[in-house]
Amino acid sequence: MTGETDALEATAAEYGLALGAHVGSIKRGQDDPDLSRSLVSRMVAAPVRTLADLLALVAWAEAMASSAFAVLPEDETPFGGPRAMTGCAAALLARARQSLEAETGIAPEVFTGSPDISN
């Protein structure tokens, strides 16, 4: 890719904003699962040029991990399993998000559209 092409390519933050707007439309009853998957795929592949791009990725990863954690059944072993691992991943992502939020001054809700998108 040339520098010219890179400049025209949407960034992770831009796709994060688009996904937040799409989630808002889902809450209003306008669901499009294909668009949801497309926006997530594009955000994953998008260039990360700034801390805002990184915050968009981390904010959405945290929201998705937290949503998964909320619906996973309790683990069967005292040593943990999928729910414990998902909870740990969500906690690590929350810590990264807090650091990025402090560094950028941007609230993650700018991307996710809500302090808690799992509701």
Q: Note whether residue 95 is domain-resident.
A: yes
Given a contact cutoff of 8 angstroms between Cβ atoms, the answer to whether 110 and 17 are in contact is yes
Range(s) of the domain holding residue 83: 3-112
Kindly state the helix (H) or strand (E) to which residue 9 belongs, with its residue range: none
Domain count, the chain: 1
The token duo for 40 is 């997530």
Which pLDDT tens digit goes with each residue over 37-92? Answer: 999 999 999 999 999 999 999 999 999 999 999 999 999 887 789 999 999 999 99
Q: Note whether residue 118 is domain-resident.
A: no
Q: Note whether residue 77 is domain-resident.
A: yes
Q: Note whether residue 84 is domain-resident.
A: yes
Local structure of residue 108 (DSSP, 8 states): T
Q: Note whether residue 73 is domain-resident.
A: yes
State the residue for tokens 């740990």.
88
Dihedral pair phi/psi, residue 22, rounded to 5°: -65, -40
Q: Note whether residue 119 is domain-resident.
A: no
In angstroms, rounded to a whole number, what is the distance separating the alpha carbons of residues 19 and 7?
Answer: 21
Residue 12, pLDDT score: 97
